[in-house]
Chain A
Amino acid sequence: MDSNQKTAWWAIARSEEVGGKKPINADIGDQPIVLWRDNEGIVRALEDRCPHRRAPLSLGCVRDNGWIQCGYHGWIYEGETGRLKEIPNMKDKQKFPPLYRAIRFGVHESGGFVYVNLDAEAAPPAPSTNTTYALSGTVAVALSHQDWLDALFDDPNLVLAIRGIGFTPYLMTELHEEQGRLVMERSCQWRLLHWPAPFSPEFPVTMLTATDPITGHTDVTLRDADFNELLRVALAPVPAARGVTQIRWRAEIGENRPGWMAKLLGMKDSFAVRPSVDGAALRVLKPSASRHGEELRANMLNKDAVAAA
């Protein structure tokens, strides 16, 4: 991860994955993280490593008071500060120096995602206007974060599946910067009998994507030629351990979907992130949009760095 990514807000869980009884583990790159909800329903994030004997805190449990307890020797930590609160059997000698704490991380929840920042003091992200889409899923792909995004830019067929939709190589708008995001619009076809894409005068659907240059968080809008929004998706790819990318997504089917192919989008499992990538197709995939992405990202981050200086 580069320095920008180390201080970014990453969507490392869907809201419903994090409960108040059993902690879960997630990761940002090689940093393991434990997540749970305290007794106020607030999501807490600590390093998934007990400072006592390095056992994963995610193997423990959440106490009634919202603190997390290590499953190995029972040490108990408070989520907001990460400070050690109790050691079993110490009875009334429960006062610990500040050093006795787990590393804590910044947490923010919006749009049905739990965002974590490795910098606990980071300012919360700008308020999201995202509503929480009802459909959701999590997929782990054995591909690096950047390679996954590049595949999304160059050929979404390799990483996404939308019922009845074929992504063409043809673009209405090449990748460009728009309000701090990488935006492009790709022409799509319904998977029906029709002219092959290279000979099609018109395409019935386009897929608009707006991608955060640092995290790769991407808002997807599938819309028809009359600007009816058929499908809205929020994709949150996060670099995880061992070069794996975890993609959490939330989706919502549009209400107004003229045409029977569009109506079929209302069926179950109409959207999916592919759990694996066709290596043979990926190997020969020609980089075009991803090259634009590389340059745009570098320019945008450079601009930000200059502005910060």
Chain B
Amino acid sequence: MLDVPHRPTESDHEPDHSSAPIAPSIMNGSVNSWVPHDIVMKDTWFPLAHGFAVGKKPVRRAIYSHPYYLWRENGVAVASEFHPNERRTGEKSPYTNAAGHYPVMERYGYVWGWFGRPEAADPAHLPSLPFLPPNGNLPKYLLGTVRFDCSAPLSLENLIDLTHADFLHANVVGDEKSESEDVEVFTTSETITMVRTCKGKSVAPVMKFFSGIKTPVQDIRQVIHIYLRSHCAIAYGRFEPGDDVPLFHPCVPETRDRTRLDYTMNTSNAGFMFRHIMPRASYVVSRQDSSMTSPQSPRYMREEKRRDLHSPFDSAGQKYRSLMLDLAKRQAVGDFDYRDNVSDDCSDLIGLRKELFRY
């Protein structure tokens, strides 16, 4: 049974959503004219830190500029908006209980903090990550942290648009050449799933060098599964010949235009070299992504008259924008309900080879 130790039964100071100003960019936003910078998702769990990073001494995190200080009391994680040494000068926010604590829980090797109405915090809203052991405990070499100076939705849009990888990350994952390519998109009100299937694609250099793949081409099935509210994504690649590479890719919006990514790449089933090297490829790939998303981000801070162009290859990204806007509009008018479950096991949806990840 999951536990949420600091969830109050009711909010002591409920935010007045009805009178909060609604950004015009949310209500007027459209797929090719959106302002992801203005999207602030509430009533959701964010993976604030790897479990091992939280000890007796407070560490600091942020969600949309709201401070989260994390530490353990008798081994149990605490998330507070005040540092124990801080001289409190202001009022506590409406997102914490009377003690200034946020709802918090631990699962999959992460400390998750709730952002939104405290009384709505529920483990049922935690994303399903079936390729990670529920109690964590994966070796540290599978974990890492990277940061992006862009808004979290842009970072996720970058992820779901896999065609960029063939150009920006060709030296890691291979170029765009393949015999056939098929993209399917599945959605709910809370998730979007993109499945890209390629036959006869150039072998990813990282697999050529560290996994010993000798064939000139390989078949791949890549899935990107995004939990819209929590900005968490699963990126699961199955390579034949090759390895399974499931990545938990959470884009925590520390501010509206800075993103923190405490990732876990569970390559524990791969060979020794690949298992150790591949998680570190994030340091290369993230810099390549950042070279584009960083200059992009200020250009998505305000409404613009010019609309973005798009091609048929952008269908997943377009759908992602549309779903995010739908959710943001609902939240803007005070509707925070989950219309679809996010904690149901998504193994089948992402095509997880369960025999490799028995937890």
Extra inter-chain contacts (20) besides given A172-B60, A288-B298, CB under 8 Å: A169-B149, A170-B147, A170-B149, A170-B258, A170-B260, A174-B255, A174-B256, A174-B258, A199-B146, A199-B147, A199-B286, A201-B53, A201-B262, A225-B59, A226-B83, A226-B85, A227-B85, A286-B295, A287-B298, A288-B149
Compute how far the CA of A226 lies from the CA of B83 in the bound complex, rounded to whole angstroms: 8
Jot down 23 A-B pairs with beta carbons below 8 A, ordered by A: A170-B147, A170-B258, A171-B62, A171-B258, A172-B254, A172-B255, A173-B62, A173-B65, A174-B258, A198-B147, A199-B286, A200-B145, A200-B147, A201-B262, A202-B53, A225-B60, A227-B86, A286-B294, A286-B297, A286-B298, A287-B298, A288-B301, A291-B302
Known: A172-B67, A286-B295. A199 touches B145 (CB 8 A): yes
Residues 270-304 of A, flagged 1 when their CB comes within 8 A of B and 0 if not, give: 00000000000000001110010000000000000
Residues 288-312 of B, flagged 1 when their CB comes within 8 A of A and 0 if not, give: 0010001101100110000000000
Please give me the 4 A-B residue pairs with the lowest Cβ-Cβ distance, nearest first: A174-B255, A227-B85, A201-B145, A173-B65
Compute how far the CA of A173 lies from the CA of B66 in the bound complex, rounded to whole angstroms: 7
Does B169 reach chain A (CB closer than 8 Å)? Answer: no
Does B241 reach chain A (CB closer than 8 Å)? Answer: no
Known: A227-B85, A286-B295, A288-B149. A198 touches B258 (CB 8 A): no
Contact of A291 among B53, B146, B287, B298 (CB under 8 A): B298
Does B244 reach chain A (CB closer than 8 Å)? Answer: no
CB neighbors of A among B232-256 (8 A): 254-256
Residues of A within 8 A of B (CB): 169-174, 176, 178, 197-202, 225-227, 286-288, 291
Compute how far the CA of A170 lies from the CA of B254 in the bound complex, rounded to whole angstroms: 9
Task: For B258, list chain A residues within 8 Å (CB).
Answer: 169-171, 174
Task: For A178, list chain B residues within 8 Å (CB).
Answer: 90
Task: For B145, list chain A residues within 8 Å (CB).
Answer: 199-201
Compute how far the CA of A287 lies from the CA of B49 in the bound complex, rounded to whole angstroms: 28
- A106 → chain B, closest Cβ, in Å? 30
Does B257 reach chain A (CB closer than 8 Å)? Answer: yes
> Dominant SS at the A interface?
mixed
Does B283 reach chain A (CB closer than 8 Å)? Answer: yes
Task: For A200, list chain B residues within 8 Å (CB).
Answer: 145, 147
- A7 → chain B, closest Cβ, in Å? 29
Chain A residue at minimum C-beta to C-beta distance from B65? A173
A174 touches B257 (CB 8 A): yes
B294 touches A171 (CB 8 A): no
Compute how far the CA of A235 lies from the CA of B67 in the bound complex, rounded to whole angstroms: 26
A288 touches B297 (CB 8 A): yes
Chain B residue at minimum C-beta to C-beta distance from A172? B62
B146 touches A171 (CB 8 A): no
Task: For B67, list chain A residues within 8 Å (CB).
Answer: 172-173
Task: For A170, list chain B residues within 8 Å (CB).
Answer: 147, 149, 254, 258, 260
Does B144 reach chain A (CB closer than 8 Å)? Answer: yes
B290 touches A198 (CB 8 A): yes
- A201 → chain B, closest Cβ, in Å? 4
Residues 76-113 of B, flagged 1 when their CB comes within 8 A of A and 0 if not, give: 00000001011000100000000000000000000000
- A228 → chain B, closest Cβ, in Å? 8
> Among the interface residues B59, B60, B297, which one has the most CB atoms of the partner chain A within 10 A?
B60
A198 touches B257 (CB 8 A): no
B59 touches A227 (CB 8 A): no
Compute how far the CA of A264 lies from the CA of B290 in the bound complex, rounded to whole angstroms: 34
Chain A residue at minimum C-beta to C-beta distance from B151? A288
Compute how far the CA of A173 lies from the CA of B62 in the bound complex, rounded to whole angstroms: 7
Compute how far the CA of A197 lies from the CA of B59 in the bound complex, rounded to whole angstroms: 16
Compute how far the CA of A189 lies from the CA of B49 in the bound complex, rounded to whole angstroms: 19
A173 touches B294 (CB 8 A): no
Compute how far the CA of A198 lies from the CA of B85 in the bound complex, rounded to whole angstroms: 27
Compute how far the CA of A218 lies from the CA of B86 in the bound complex, rounded to whole angstroms: 21
Task: For B83, list chain A residues within 8 Å (CB).
Answer: 226-227
Chain B residue at minimum C-beta to C-beta distance from A287? B298
Residues 45-63 of B, flagged 1 when their CB comes within 8 A of A and 0 if not, give: 0000110010000111010
Chain A residue at minimum C-beta to C-beta distance from B143? A201
Task: For B50, list chain A residues within 8 Å (CB).
Answer: 201
Contact of B65 among A172, A226, A288 (CB under 8 A): A172
A197 touches B302 (CB 8 A): no
Compute how far the CA of A170 lies from the CA of B297 in the bound complex, rounded to whole angstroms: 14
Compute how far the CA of A169 lies from the CA of B49 in the bound complex, rounded to whole angstroms: 20
A202 touches B257 (CB 8 A): no
- B205 → chain A, closest Cβ, in Å? 21
- B102 → chain A, closest Cβ, in Å? 16
Task: For B148, list chain A residues within 8 Å (CB).
Answer: 198
- A241 → chain B, closest Cβ, in Å? 32
B254 touches A198 (CB 8 A): no
Chain A residue at minimum C-beta to C-beta distance from B301? A291
Compute how far the CA of A197 lies from the CA of B147 in the bound complex, rounded to whole angstroms: 8
Compute how far the CA of A287 lies from the CA of B283 in the bound complex, rounded to whole angstroms: 25
